[in-house]
Amino acid sequence: MSVLYDVEPGQLCEECWLPVASPAVARQGWRSLVWCRLCAKRVGLSLIADEREATLARDPQPHWRNRVVAAVRHRLQVEERLPAA
Ligand SMILES: [Zn+2]
């Protein structure tokens, strides 16, 4: 990940698909990804939360597995309450 100070005109955010203004956040890999600053923060926080959930899900102690199941259950309930897109 890096800060991209010279965004190409017409570049769209990988997450919200709105035009990106400089500076933005980019990842150079087999495919270049560019996010607007707001989406970069959201994606980063989501990645951290997902990594934590994945790590806890592999923990052999049932305590952590139960917490992950509860977190997933809560998230599904929240999503079910959201109006259809
Ligand atoms: Zn965005």
Residue type, 64: W
How far is ligand 1, taken at its centre, from the CA of residue 42, in Å? Answer: 9
The tens digit of pLDDT for each residue in 29-77 reads 888 899 999 999 999 999 998 898 888 878 777 777 787 788 889 989 9
How far is ligand 1, taken at its centre, from the CA of residue 21, in Å? Answer: 10
Domain range enclosing 18? 2-81
Contact 26, 11 (CB under 8 A): no
Cα separation, 45 vs 15, in Å, equals 13
Q: What is the pTM of this model?
A: 0.67
Domain count, the chain: 1
How far is ligand 1, taken at its centre, from the CA of residue 25, in Å? Answer: 10
Give the dihedral sign, CA 10/12/40/4: negative
